[in-house]
Amino acid sequence: MISLSNRLASHGILLIINKKRIKNINFRIKAGQFVVSTPIHISQALLAQAIEQRIDWAIQGHERILARGRQPTCLWGEPFDARAWLAMQQDNLHTRSYRRLQAMPDDELIAWIYRQQVAQKLPELLQKWQPKVGKFASTVSIKAMKSRWGSCNTRTAKITINSRLAAYPAECLSYVLVHELCHLYHANHSAEFWACVASFMPEYRLWHDRLKG
């Protein structure tokens, strides 16, 4: 176990092992930490084997966290400080909610802010774009997603919007909403689909490209 700790330490990562009343081993990466939660009675040999199998994953994941940390956190395309933002909202929050948010790690607080901000903007955007496009979602949900900015179930007309869009200019959120509504006409990414998007948002490519990169 010492050799595993040393290997992680060489990458600036502290190995933390928490024994809990759980059935399975759980792994979590934080800035500077690889946290392993284990069943109370697990053997040292089995624990060491499990960590060994995850050590490369932990190092790579930690590098991604550090890379994100070097980039400024943005809200609607502008750099912002999540803690300062929360302090400004104190009068608008119940004391218990404010304290709970204060206790959150930075990444969880930012995720909460993003979801809250998208939820705040969506009603106005739906009111604007659904009549223009001529299609209406049955439900619209907000979810943090890693691989897509939005999705549309064309059978049920259910649209899902990525909460991380709050990091980008608000026009990106509008673009994704129009994109998903147009899927209710074309359940694909054909030329006809993109022509549909362009007919409602001629400048869509600007926001499409912004999200790509």
Residues 7 and 46 occupy one common structural domain: yes
DSSP bridge pairs for 74: 79
* pLDDT for res 46: 92
Residues 12 and 99 occupy one common structural domain: no
Do the Cβ atoms of 146 and 163 come closer than 8 Å?
no
Provide the residue-wise pLDDT of the chain in tens; the chain has 213 residues: 668 788 888 888 999 999 999 989 999 988 788 999 999 999 999 999 999 999 999 988 888 777 665 567 899 999 999 989 998 888 888 888 889 998 999 899 999 999 999 999 999 999 999 999 999 999 999 999 988 999 999 999 999 999 999 999 999 999 999 999 999 999 999 999 999 999 999 999 999 999 986
What is the longest distance spanned by two Cα atoms in the chain? 63
Residues 108 and 64 occupy one common structural domain: no
**Does residue 81 form part of some domain?**
no
**Does residue 78 form part of some domain?**
no
pTM (predicted TM-score): 0.68
- Secondary structure element (H or E) that encloses residue 106, with its range: helix 106-133
- Secondary structure element (H or E) that encloses residue 31, with its range: none
Residue from 34, 41, 2, 49 nearest 19 by CA: 41
Residue from 36, 60, 40 nearest 49 by CA: 36
Beta strands in the chain (DSSP E): 14-20, 26-30, 33-39, 74-75, 78-79, 139-143, 150-153, 158-162
Cα angle at 206 between 200 and 211, to 5 degrees?
A: 105
How many structural domains are present in the chain? 2
What CATH number is attached to the domain comprising 190?
Answer: 3.30.2010.10
Token digits of residue 167? 């990091």
* pLDDT for res 90: 85
Give CA–CA dist 139/141, Å, rounded.
Answer: 7
Range of the domain at 119: 91-212
Give CA–CA dist 64/108, Å, rounded.
Answer: 16
